[in-house]
Amino acid sequence: MITDELIVKTPVVKEIAECKEIFWENDRAGDSFEDNIVDIDEAEARLVRFAPFIKRKFSKPEDGIIESTLREINQMKNALGMNIPGRLFLKCDSHLPISGSVKARGGIYEVLKFAEKIAIDSGMLTTEDDYGKLADDEFRELFSKYKVAVGSTGNLGLSIGIISAAIGFQVTVHMSADARQWKKDMLRSKGVTVVEYPDDYEAAVAQGRAEAAKDPSCHFVDDENSLDLFAGYSVAGKRLRKQLDDAGVTVDEKHRLYVYLPCGVGGAPGGVTYGIKHYFGDNAYCFFAEPTHAPCMTLGLVTGLHNRIAVGDIGIDGRTEADGLAVGRPSGLVSQAMENRVTGCFTVNDEKLYPYLAALKDSEDIFIEPSACAAFEGLKYTCGKQSRSFPAPDDNSVHIIWATGGDMVPEDEKKTYYEKGTLLMKKQEEGCE
Ligand X SMILES: *Cc1c(COP(=O)(O)O)cnc(C)c1O
Q: Which is nearer to ligand X, 140 or 180 (CB)?
A: 180
Per CB under 6 A, the list member of 108, 404, 407, 417 interacting with ligand X is 404
Of 328-347, which residues contact ligand X (CB under 6 A)?
none
Q: Which is nearer to ligand X, 131 or 228 (CB)?
A: 228
Residue at 93: amino acid letter:
D
Asked if 118 and 170 touch (Cβ cutoff 8 Å), the reply is no
* 372 lies in the site for ligand X, by CB under 6 A: yes
Per CB under 6 A, the list member of 369, 379, 383, 398 interacting with ligand X is 369
| CA-to-CA dists, residue 258 to 129, 189, 390, 400, angstroms | 40, 40, 9, 6
The minimum distance between CB 102 and ligand X, in angstroms, equals 6
The minimum distance between CB 11 and ligand X, in angstroms, equals 26
The minimum distance between CB 239 and ligand X, in angstroms, equals 18
| Piece of 15-23, 345-353, 365-373, 380-388 that binds ligand X (CB under 6 A) | 365-373
Of 251-290, which residues contact ligand X (CB under 6 A)?
262-269
| Piece of 69-77, 210-218, 368-376, 379-387 that binds ligand X (CB under 6 A) | 368-376
| Piece of 99-107, 243-251, 311-319, 351-359 that binds ligand X (CB under 6 A) | 99-107
How many chain residues are in contact with ligand X, going by CB under 6 A? 19
Per CB under 6 A, the list member of 64, 300, 405, 421 interacting with ligand X is 405
What distance in Å separates the CA atoms of residue 120 and residue 131, rounded to the nearest whole number?
Answer: 11
* 101 lies in the site for ligand X, by CB under 6 A: yes
The minimum distance between CB 322 and ligand X, in angstroms, equals 8
Residue numbers at the binding site for ligand X (CB under 6 A): 101-103, 155, 262-269, 324-325, 369, 371-372, 404-405
